[in-house]
């Protein structure tokens, strides 16, 4: 019995599995059988394959064709197996005509969806599949031409972009030329102009200072005060001071967007740090995962930068509690009947809220009409465990009309961006050779190693912990925040002034006890 073998990859989340398509034929009743845990979309491929062979003038023989997708314990999902299954049938039925080397076939991976007209169509999940293939020493990839834009930046690979299955037939059986595209295309310089800018927000110097610290160390932020204090605009303006993504981070973020089909020829890679703004009507399912295929959604799409929640208390309690695990672990775990996957979720959480239902609790310009109970009920929508995972609580008062009308206001955003970049580089040097990416992510067991306090700072921390009954988690967050403030001041040791500022950002004077 002659069996042909073609290789592809299956991804469950960002975990790879090599799939070997084994094909053989016998004299049983004519038909195509696909075995070993194919889902409905894979089973439907038999009709697409039959129509594709008819399009190239090569009808399938009246025999039973069995397609075995090994290994047997992995669920095969999606239409990317169409092309490898069709190639396996082609090599089996025309083995005496194959002119390409067996070595090329063995060292190549095949991906693509087939249309009834024989066209090879784009598929999702291809960028992480190819990167996983490279890690396993595969260098040649037969892929849809429609996916070429996202793959040509991957280094040390050969891509065979395919428009139509007839090109595969003529390449393997007639030796006709098939285009080869070498990977490693250089990422061009990107325009880093963002819509909102700190220079557009008049004054609010304390808030800008605090947000620059948050941007430097990836510290979670909650902004609270009355309306018209530009909380939302300040959050969006954080883009203007962000350090750029390096190439490894670009590929890391782009893999997540490839899974959900958000890459295109116009946007082949995610080169800017993504900001995902969530509406308060969103459900916890839409924030965490994207359906039966266990695809990532908002929490993971914000990986490597900002997840923004405006009007935080307006979100259902169950939605907010979903955030607790990824805020702590920096990964999003999704468990369903179809499997369990993990996606990276290392994001900066930024949220804004009003202090009460009528918006004006403790406002200096307008009286609050809420009762003590109403204020308490409104604020209690933000649970204590969630607040414990927020590093900075900023109280942003309204500026006067004279300030807002000041035409001489000037703020140097570029200088602030350079300061953030300088402190960012200090962190990278400190954590070189470790898996730590920022001060906010220093593990508790390494706090003493990376954060050195002077004597007065130690005394202040002891007194504050005792006076305000701070939890151990919160103490660690204050220490990490003080480390970032010291980096902004270009200091190797954390001084009392740095710790004092960090404690100030944990003030909750607008929250009722």
The CB density around residue 221, as the number of other CB atoms within 10 Å, is 26
Out of 93-102, 360-369, 476-485, which region has the weakest mean confidence (pLDDT)? 360-369
- pLDDT over 70 for what percent of the chain? 95
The answer to whether the beta carbons of residues 272 and 192 sit under 8 Å apart is yes
**What is residue 153's predicted lDDT score, i.e. its pLDDT?**
95
Q: Helix, strand, or coil here: 32?
A: strand
Q: How many angstroms separate the CA atoms of 8 and 86, rounded? A: 12
Q: What is the mean pLDDT of residues 366-384?
A: 92
- DSSP string covering 393-410: EEE-PPPPHHHHT-TT--
Higher per-residue confidence, 134 vs 237: 134
**DSSP secondary structure string, 294-306?**
--B-HHHHTTTSE
Q: Residue 253: name the closest of 193, 187, 209 by CA.
A: 187
Q: Can you tell me the distance from the alpha carbon of 79 to that of 277, in angstroms, rounded to the nearest whole number?
A: 31
Segment 412-439 mean pLDDT: 91
The pLDDT, as a whole number, for residue 401 is 67
- Per-residue pLDDT, averaged over 154-171, amounts to 96
3-state secondary structure (DSSP) of residue 467: helix
Q: How confident is the model at residue 195 (pLDDT cuts 50, 70, 90)?
A: low
In terms of average pLDDT, the best of 164-168, 185-189, 273-277, 330-334 is 164-168
Which residues, in sequence order, are bridge partners of residue 12? 15
**3-class secondary structure, 353:** strand
The rounded mean pLDDT for the chain is 90
Q: What is the pLDDT of residues 24-82, one digit of tens each?
A: 999 889 999 999 999 999 999 999 999 999 999 988 999 999 999 999 888 898 899 99
Please indicate whether residue 97 or residue 511 has the higher confidence score (pLDDT). 97
Q: Residue 148 in contact with residue 28, Cβ under 8 Å?
A: no
The predicted pLDDT at position 252 comes to: 94
Q: How far apart are CA 272 and CA 248, in angstroms?
A: 13
Whether residue 404 has pLDDT greater than 70: no
The DSSP annotation for 121-161 comes to E--TTHHHHHHHHHHTT--EEEEEGGGHHHHTTSSS-EEEE
pLDDT digits (tens, 9 = 90+) for 280-292: 888 888 888 766 6
pLDDT-derived band at 1, boundaries 50, 70, 90? low
pTM for this entry: 0.91
How far does the chain reach from its first CA to its final CA, in angstroms?
78
What's the Rg (C-alpha) of the chain? Answer: 28
Burial class of residue 1, CB neighbours in 10 A (0-12, 13-18, 19+): exposed
């Amino acid at each position: 019995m002659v069996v042909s073998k073609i290789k592809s990859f299956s991804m469950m989340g960002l975990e790879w599995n090599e799939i070997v398509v084994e094909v053989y034929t016998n004299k049983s009743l004519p038909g195509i059988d696909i075995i070993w845990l194919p889902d409905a979309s894979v089973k439907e491929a038999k009709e697409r394959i039959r129509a594709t062979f008819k399009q190239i003038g090569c009808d399938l023989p009246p025999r039973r064709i069995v397609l075995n997708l090994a290994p047997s314990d992995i669920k095969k999902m999606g239409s990317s197996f169409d092309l490898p299954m069709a190639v396996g049938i082609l090599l089996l039925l025309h083995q005496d005509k194959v002119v390409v080397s067996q070595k090329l076939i063995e060292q190549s991976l095949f991906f693509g969806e087939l249309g009834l007209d024989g066209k090879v169509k784009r598929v999702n999940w291809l960028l992480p599949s190819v990167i996983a293939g490279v890690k396993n020493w595969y260098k040649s990839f037969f892929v849809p031409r429609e996916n070429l834009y996202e793959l040509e930046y991957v280094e040390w690979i050969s891509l065979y972009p395919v428009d139509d299955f007839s090109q595969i037939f003529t390449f393997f059986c007639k030796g006709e030329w098939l285009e080869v595209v070498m990977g490693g295309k250089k990422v061009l310089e990107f325009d880093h102009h963002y819509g909102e800018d700190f220079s557009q927000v008049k004054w609010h110097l304390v808030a800008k200072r605090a947000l620059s610290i948050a941007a430097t160390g990836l510290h979670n932020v909650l902004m609270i005060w009355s309306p018209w204090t530009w909380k939302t605009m300040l959050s969006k303006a954080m883009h203007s001071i962000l350090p750029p993504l390096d190439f490894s981070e670009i590929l890391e973020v782009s893999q997540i967007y490839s899974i959900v089909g958000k890459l295109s020829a116009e946007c082949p890679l995610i080169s800017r740090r993504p900001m995902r703004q969530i509406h308060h009507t969103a459900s916890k399912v839409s924030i965490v995962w994207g359906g039966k295929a266990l695809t990532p959604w908002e929490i993971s799409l914000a990986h490597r930068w900002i997840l923004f929640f405006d009007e935080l208390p307006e979100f259902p309690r169950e939605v907010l509690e979903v955030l607790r695990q990824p805020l702590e672990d920096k990964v999003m775990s999704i468990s369903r009947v179809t499997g369990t996957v993990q996606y990276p979720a290392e994001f900066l959480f930024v949220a804004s809220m009003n202090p009460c239902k009528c918006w004006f609790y403790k406002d200096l310009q307008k009286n609050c009409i809420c009762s003590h109970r109403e204020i308490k009920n409104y604020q209690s929508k933000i649970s204590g465990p969630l607040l414990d995972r927020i590093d900075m609580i900023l109280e942003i008062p309204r500026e006067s009309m004279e300030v807002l009308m000041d035409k001489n206001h000037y703020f140097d955003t570029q200088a602030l961006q350079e300061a953030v970049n300088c402190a960012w580089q200090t962190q990278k040097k400190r954590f070189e050779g470790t898996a730590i990416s920022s001060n906010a992510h220093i593990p508790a067991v390494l706090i003493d190693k990376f954060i050195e306090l002077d004597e007065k700072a130690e005394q202040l921390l002891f007194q504050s912990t005792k006076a305000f009954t701070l939890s151990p988690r919160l103490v660690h967050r204050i220490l990490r925040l003080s480390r970032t403030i010291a980096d902004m001041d270009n200091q190797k040791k954390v001084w009392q002034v740095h710790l004092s500022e960090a404690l100030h950002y944990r003030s909750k004077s607008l929250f009722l006890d």
